[in-house]
Chains A and B, each alone.
Chain A
Amino acid sequence: MANSKSVILKIKRQQTPESKPYWEEFELSYRPGMNVTSALMDIAAKPVTRQGKPTTPVTYDSNCLEEICGSCAMLINGQAKMACSALIANLKQPITLEPFTKFPIIRDLAVDRSVLFENLKRVKAWVPVDGTYDLGCGPRQSSEMQEEAYPLSNCISCTCCMEACPQFNDKTGFVGAATIAQVRLFNSHPTGSALKKERLKALMGDGGIQECGYAQNCVEICPKELPLTKSIAAVGGQVMWQAIKDLFRT
């Protein structure tokens, strides 16, 4: 039986990084369990606008389809969301899809979010174990430490927290909540804490943790429910202690 319910999508499109954006409307027939990514797949299968004009398939990022790879973030009805977990049934129609506004556009809904990778590198968000010989087992972590660390390790680098942040923009060059949460994760790791001082000093640079205005959109928008405001407060305290030590003890 054909489902008579239809889905209207308004998509902001852009041919090249330099060209002018424009809107196209699409009408699809509703299928149970449909999400934004599957709707975009339906459009790719039959790229015809609501007005019947043939067009190109919409470009978008996606990979895992289960909210774990972090690639399909976009503005859905004006808010940063993961397309794969945004169920059509829960969205107000017409559904507007736009690319993130704070990242360079590649094409249509695909944006370049490599700034997050760059930021993670600058705070050394890793455990330093590289060497020429086997270092053996690391120190044992208590279950209490694991419970603190695990939610932080859930970050999928989707950059929703950065898109929704009023302080993340060209004027501040703010590092964003995701990177600060990873600093907390790797500082809490017994081996990772070897780089704690370097991470904290990096976060004192321009665009560092001081640019946080504590609007708390990050923690509201995070699809993986990371304790982002708690992390910013905790790392903020670590950075302050480091600054005080730098001032009085060097």
Chain B
Amino acid sequence: MASSASSIDTSSARIKPGVAPLRAGQGYSFVLRRLHSLSGIVPIGAFLIEHFISNSEATKGVQAYNDQVKFLTNLPFVHVLEWVFIFLPLLYHGIYGLYIWYKGDSNVGEYPWMGNWLYTSQRWTGIIAFIYIAYHVIDLRFLGVHLMGGGYQNAFSKVWFDFQSPWVIAFYVIGIVAASWHFAYGVWLFAAKWGFTTGDNARRKFGYVCVALAIMLIGIGLWTITGFVQTPASQVPYVEHD
């Protein structure tokens, strides 16, 4: 108890305990964090590339797009594949990613350097992509007309009707840019943290490769959107909407 005669103001007394030293041999954060990093490359990143390539069939017209959806929805064990290789890794990567964000203290105000901005942007693009993907999956996979089990002929129309709203198109553009950037920088981070690009030169050069990857993905994504937007209503079969 502080004496009332004390000249020191202890009204807001707060002893900072300081950062704990390394807990050698304790905990599972190493495995969880490396699994988070790996899950962003495979399966999520691999699926992202497949998804962008498959969707670009939309630029070839309604039939080509629906045929691609037919192929994918008819894969053997398709429900196991989508849960094991898409939904569960996405949930893990997204939720553990939020935990990683919570634990870090971004300080670009004090240290406004490129690496630090990229660190911060990886967190913001992550949350934007996570919100966008949640909307995208719920809207197209779980709501409205079902594309699984023979509903593939409605695939193009389902997306096309969504794109009648400019807000939806804008959200898709933002989502595509955020996811592409997050993935490309994630690949760069993976190479650095797992010890593939140890040298400064290697990291810089691989940085150019990853920027090219981001631009390529964004390009494919935007091109795919134009495939839907430029298709006239007369070519699009009508789909009942819930």
Contacts and interface: CB of A to CB of B under 8 A. Distances in A.
Interface of A: 15-20, 78-79, 102-105, 112, 115, 118-119, 122-123, 162, 164, 166-175, 179, 201-217, 220-221, 227, 229-230, 232-241, 243
Q: Which of A102, A232, A237 has the most CB of B within 10 A?
A: A237
B33 A210 contact: yes
A220 B198 CA distance: 17
B34 interface: yes
Interface stretch (B4-12, B78-86, B130-138, B141-149): B4-12
B242 interface: no
A173 B194 contact: no
A205 B30 contact: yes
A183 to B, nearest CB: 11
Nearest to B99: A171
A71 B83 CA distance: 54
B193 A173 contact: no
B185 to A, nearest CB: 10
Contacts, number: 186
Main secondary structure of the interface of B (DSSP, over half): loop
Q: Which of A162, A206, A227, A232 has the most CB of B within 10 A?
A: A206
Contacts of B104: 166-167, 169, 171-172, 213
Closest 3 CB pairs of A and B: A237-B195, A216-B115, A206-B27
B223 to A, nearest CB: 31
Q: Chain B interface residue count: which class?
A: 35 or more
Nearest to B111: A217
A236 B16 contact: no
B71 to A, nearest CB: 36
A202 B13 contact: no
A17 B27 CA distance: 31
Contacts of A166: 104-107, 116, 119
9 contacts: A20-B10, A172-B103, A173-B21, A175-B21, A203-B22, A206-B22, A206-B23, A216-B116, A217-B107
A215 B15 CA distance: 29
B241 interface: no
A169 B105 CA distance: 8
B195 A104 contact: no
A220 B107 CA distance: 14
Contact of B22 (A169, A205, A240, A241): A205
Q: Which of B13, B29, B100 has the most CB of A within 10 A?
A: B29
